[in-house]
Structure 1
Amino acid sequence: MSKTAAPAPLAAEPSRWKALVFIALAQLMVVLDATIVNIALPSPQTALGISDGNRQWVITAYALAFGGLLLFGGRIADKWGRKNAFIVGLIGFALASALGGAANGEAMMLGARALQGAFGALLAPAALSLLAVMFTDAKERAKAFGIYGAIAGGGGAVGLILGGFLTEYLNWRWTFFVNIPFAIIAAVGAWMIIREPAGGRNRAPLDIPGVILSTTGLVALVYGFTRAESAGWSDALTVTMFVASALLLAAFVLVESRVKSPLLPLRVLLERNRGGVYLSLGLAVIAMFGLFLFLTYYLQVVKGFSPVKTGFAFLPMIAGMITGSTQIGARLMTRVPPRLLMGPGFLLAATGMLLLTQLEVGSSYPALILPAQLLLGLGMGTAFMPAMSLATHGVNPADAGVASAMVNTSQQVGGAIGTALLNTIAASATTAYLTDHAAEAAAGGPAAKLIQAQAMVEGYSSAIWWAVGILVASATIALTLITTGRPGAGGPVASGDGAGADAEVKIPVIAH
């Protein structure tokens, strides 16, 4: 009998790897949707008669719903089952995408974007937590998270390519419709293939005050940064949003420390290694989002690239991310502690960013931008993969969804901060340059156009210097806060959340 039963664990192995294909496909859809619409935005704005003042809401409606509902979505996955949440999220995202593609007016478009964000907030943490509970062997986990990390890091650049291609050769509506086949294939595949491990569901009652406080607090925070970009940091509503966010999130922490079944158990955040991952990852995303923004504008406005050519110009970064994640991070993850991948990875990315501070109007793409992108991609891919894995490693299975949601939340908030903060820095530097060269700009003709282009590039390079500093800070946090040993080495592990009842009441302590 024992000989007959022995192959059973192996039979499940192909199922796990097949499931990874559909999880990765869903993650790619969510990540690329954050940028695919951005590059196509002028077309739907014209077609639907959206004013310049309201066009930002096509982006903001998605960001607010996604960022605000992530923690709620993660906890729903814990309670309802990650597979169920994953499939419902996919179907909802497909329906919302169909609504956006068929939009005949501003209200329909904004409503579709908000629905996309809401279902994305259910889908994204469910996808990551499925990986966390399905891949527990250190070597398998390294490979699985290598693939996932490459997609999470490179999906935004893929969105730029796909968005440019669809807008230029088909129609802006296809930037929405393209999600539908992705979602259907992933949902059908997940329903047939995914076998979620038994147990691990959170049966505690839902923390309604925590849901309300976290959602409103995160929405206020993301909207504050979004508004700061357009209206300025001293704008009354911007300041009000930041103050409201601080109060709501402080109240949320207070509630979570006192309720019996919190939405976000503070042990998930206070575990040193996991907290270090959330912080370093959030900072790194600030730098990355700023780069996407400035490099896209530089290539299109200064260099005159078409949307499709701009998208393809990001290919070296995608290649670097895939290589860093699957060939460096995945191969070394079981051999060295995570901090020795994350720290050097962020520093390598900072080196690539440092090259881009040398941008000029006439800079060569092959000589400067291409090598900079390769370094950025390699560094980010190497760092993202162990970060994604460590953020969910060893967490109580009943909290896997909400721990995964915190990864997405740190990225979403980091993206909002990066876009607003670095854009403000760039705008200030551009204005200062134009003020210093006002006489030449006023002369008109080719000289004035050159001054305008130089002012823009001056702004980009000033902001990129800040991005370099932010990446160095990410590396420092990773090297100092993250102390866990390599997976399976028998040293300190980033678990500590336990699996039993004790885990529900105590904050883990890492042995040094």
Structure 2
Amino acid sequence: MTDTQSAPAQPDPRRWKALALLCAAFFMVALDGQIVILALPSIQDDLGFTASGLQWVLSAYLLSFGGLLLLGGRIADLFGPRRLFLAGVVLFLVSSALCGLAWDGNVLVIARVIQGVSAAIMSPTALALLMTTFDEGPERNRALAIWTGTGAFGATAALLIGGVLTDLLGWSWIFYINIPVALAMLLLTPVLLRESAPAVKGVGFDIGGAVTSTAALVLAIFAIVEAPTAGWGSGQTLGLLGGAAVLLVLFVIIESKSRAPLVPLRIFRSSSLTGGNLMMILVGMLLVGFNVVVSLYAQQVLLFTPVIFGLGTLAYAVMDLVSANVGGALVTKLGYKVMALIGMLLFGAGALIMTFISPDGSYFGDLFLGLIVFGAGVGTCFVAVTIAALTGIPDEDAGLASGINNAAFWIGGALGSAVVSTVAVAYTTGTGPAALTDGFQAAFWACLIVAAIGVVIALVLLAMRKSDAETQQVADVH
């Protein structure tokens, strides 16, 4: 077999086994982004976190992951995704063990930063390997549907797995479960994944672009994460966002003049990539924001234990997985724009149902239907916007496009968590169940508004002429 990253003349017979390996990596990355949500009270009790410091168990991972995704994706193109994927898995293994062994809050936060760095390497490189293993067309769409469904399932199953492990074994085990999976990936990667030469050869490394893009993302995410505490109109928030904007402008200037840009600006000429990633930001906002609010309502108002609520999210996670597979089958027939519209409508319907939660509610009376409908939106929309963002991307830009797609989701996730937290606090007028419910209802209304924005964007995209890439994709199917 030729040592190349280009798609082979004959399909790789190991490709579906390779997909299972890559999906396992994406599942763990998505899982670790939110698995700590239900474990936070236990972590606070054991390690003595303050209320304001506790959020960094979640935010530290998000900050390093989201900030380095763009860089991680492009490095994969420059140095070869398989070897970089292996490096990410090793770092993921070490950082997960350190998280579980953490003896104080500072150690845990530092370990979560390292874990985020490993995720920023693993996620885009795994997706880049998928892109170069499957030829564009129906087979790649099927692979992407499985991939995105697995990631979305990981994000929704985080509540189930995190709750059960925290209650039965202790919070350390939400990190220890990564160790056997990482070891298996290290053993199977040389067997199942093709050797990968760099897709971009004979070019230097764009230091200026790397520094400015990473710094801009880190500042923007930090500003968003801290905004509920510092205030959206505070000098800190506005200053950080202003600094991120300046760095972004500087980044664009550097890239426009660089002979070997980190991010060739031509990539944004693709309407499907731009529209898909814009929608992915909204998907991230909705998924993470919804998960935060529904878990708080279940624990603080309904007084569910982590394990009971975790088990209650099983239907949510299964619906997500089913809808992702159905959406993947339909996207080549109806187009990603139609499927994105359907997904956003389901998001909105699920959020609307949740606005009727009550202080003396129950699982089946207040949560079940909303979880089912919202879960259907997760799988449907996630698949559609991922395929949109990666359609027509050449092999030499696969890692970069994957990094942009992942970064869009996690930036949206940070924004969604911050927005719903701010809205919930603003509309909570006391400490009892009724007052808390008022705040959570308002937060679900915020999710509904975000979904409505997504519906509008999907309708605008649907009204536009289909891109050449999408037209060719549908033609290939028929």
Q: TM-score, length-normalised on structure 2?
A: 0.92
2:474 pairs with one of 476, 485, 489? 489
Alpha-carbon shift at residue 138 of structure 1 (Å): 2.0
Change (3 A) 1:364 1:99: closer
1:336 aligns with 2:341: no
> Which residue of structure 2 aligns with residue 12 of structure 1?
12
Instruction: Give, in whole Å, the separation in 1 of the partners of 2:209 and 2:81.
Output: 20
What is the match of residue 134 of structure 1?
133
AA aligned to 1:294 is V
Paired with 2:184 and 2:459, the residues of 1 have a C-alpha distance of: 40
1:340/1:221 CA distance change after superposition, 3 Å: same
Counterpart of 1:97 in structure 2 is 96
> Cα distance 1:209–1:121, how it changes in 2: closer, same or farther (>3 A)?
same
Contact 2:223–2:240, Cα closer than 8 Å, also in 1: yes
- The Cα shift of 1:35 comes to 1.2
Aligned runs of 1:233-248 on 2, under 5 Å?
233-248=232-247
Amino acid at match of 2:407: T
Higher mean C-alpha deviation, range 191-200 or range 302-311: 191-200
Q: Comparing 115-124 with 460-469, which one deviates more in the overlay?
A: 460-469
Partners of 1:260 and 1:11 in 2: how far apart? 34
RMSD in angstroms over aligned alpha carbons?
2.0
Counterpart of 2:368 in structure 1 is 370
CA distance in 2, matches of 1:323, 1:487: 27
Tell me, yes or no, if the aligned pair for 1:71 and 1:405 is still in contact at 8 Å. Answer: yes
Q: Which residue of 1 aligns with 2:453?
A: 473
Q: Distance in 1 between matches of 2:16 and 2:372?
A: 28
Aligned partners of 1:267, 1:422: CA distance in 2, in Å? Answer: 35
Q: Which residue of 2 aligns with 1:502?
A: none
Please list every run of 5 or more consecutive structure 1 residues that lacks an aligned counterpart in the other structure: 1-7, 435-448, 492-512
Measured in 2, the distance between the counterparts of 1:109 and 1:379 equals: 33
Q: Could you list the per-position Cα deviations for residues 15-52 of structure 1 after superposition, in whole angstroms to 9, with x for gaps in the alignment?
A: 00000111011111110001112321232333233333
Q: After TM superposition, list the pairs within 5 Å mapping 1:292-307 onto structure 2.
A: 292-307=291-306
Code of the aligned partner of 1:12: D
Q: Residues of 2 paired with 1:230 and 1:310: CA distance? A: 27
- Corresponding position: 1:406 with 2:386: no
1:350 match: 348
Provide the residue aligned with 2:192 in structure 1: 193
Amino acid at match of 1:388: T
The 2-side partners of 1:383 and 1:52 are apart by 34
User: CA separation in 1, counterparts of 2:51 and 2:438?
Assistant: 26
Change (3 A) 1:197 1:96: closer
For residues 266 and 365 of structure 2, the distance between their equivalents in structure 1, rounded to whole angstroms, comes to: 48
What is the aligned counterpart of 1:462 among 415, 436, 442?
442
For residues 317 and 80 of structure 2, the distance between their equivalents in structure 1, rounded to whole angstroms, comes to 33
Question: Once the 2 structures are TM-superposed, how far is the Cα of residue 368 of structure 1 from its aligned partner?
Answer: 4.0
1:401-440 correspondence to structure 2 within 5 Å: 401-431=399-429, 434=430
1:158 aligns with 2:163: no
Does the aligned pair in 2 maintain the 1:345–1:383 contact within 8 Å? yes
Distance 1:424 1:50 in 2: 21
Structure 2 Cα separation of the partners of residues 43 and 487 of structure 1: 52
Q: What does residue 106 of structure 1 align with?
A: 105
Matched position secondary structure for 1:85: helix
Deviations 1:41-96 (A, max 9, x none): 23233323333342222222211111111111011111111111111111111111
Q: Hey, what does 1:286 align to over in structure 2?
A: 285
CA–CA distance in structure 1, aligned partners of residues 103 and 198 of structure 2: 45
Q: Is the 8 A contact 2:68 2:214 kept in 1?
A: yes
Per-residue deviation at 1:250?
Answer: 1.7
Give, as a single letter, the amino acid of the residue that structure 2 aligns with 1:370.
F
* Aligned-partner Cα distance in 2 for 1:266–1:11: 32
Cα-to-partner distance string for 1:196-219 (whole Å, 9 max, x where unaligned): 566734542111011111111111
Question: 1:367, CA displacement in angstroms?
Answer: 3.9
Q: Which amino acid aligns with 2:12?
A: A
Q: Secondary structure at the match of 2:420?
A: helix
Moved more, 291-300 or 360-369: 360-369
Deviates more, 1:99-108 or 1:70-79: 99-108
Aligned to 1:4: none
Contact 2:124 2:406 in 1 (8 A): yes
Partner AA of 1:462 in structure 2? A
Measured in 2, the distance between the counterparts of 1:296 and 1:231 equals 23
Match runs of 1:35-50 below 5 Å: 35-50=34-49
Q: Specify the SS of the correspondent of 1:305.
A: coil
1:116-159 per-residue CA deviation (whole Å, 9 max, x = no partner) reads 01111111101111111211152212221121111222212211
Residue 150 of structure 1 contacts residue 322 of structure 1 at CA under 8 Å; is this kept in 2?
A: yes
Letter in 2 for 1:128: L
Contact 1:346 1:383 in 2 (8 A): yes
Structure 1, residues 351-403: CA drift from partner, whole Å, max 9, x if none?
Answer: 11111111111334224421222111212211211321221222121111111
Aligned equivalents of 2:211 and 2:76: distance in 1?
17
Quote the offset at 1:233 in angstroms.
Answer: 1.6
Residue 4 of structure 2 corresponds to none
Which whole-Å CA distance do the structure 2 matches of 1:317 and 1:487 have between them?
35
Partner amino acid, structure 2, of 1:356: M
1:388 equivalent among 371, 386, 411: 386
Q: 1:258 & 1:180 partners in 2: Cα distance?
A: 44
Find the aligned partners of 1:24 and 1:478 in 2 and give their Cα distance.
Answer: 27
Q: Distance in 2 between matches of 1:87 and 1:302?
A: 44
Is 1:88 the counterpart of 2:87? The answer is yes
Larger displacement relative to structure 2 (402-411 or 369-378): 369-378
Shift of 1:10: 6.2
Partner of 1:442: none
SS in 2 for 1:381: helix
Shift in CA distance, 364/54, structure 1 to aligned 2, threshold 3 Å: closer
Match of 1:445 in 2: none
Which residue in the other structure is 1:270 paired with? 269
Aligned length: 465
User: Is the Cα contact below 8 Å between 2:12 and 2:133 reproduced in 1?
Assistant: no
How many Å separate the matches in 2 of 1:351 and 1:55? 32
Normalised to the residue count of structure 1, the TM-score between the two structures is: 0.86
**Post-superposition offset of 1:243:** 1.3
Question: Which residue number in structure 1 is paired with residue 223 of structure 2?
Answer: 224
- Which protein is bigger by CA-based radius of gyration? 1
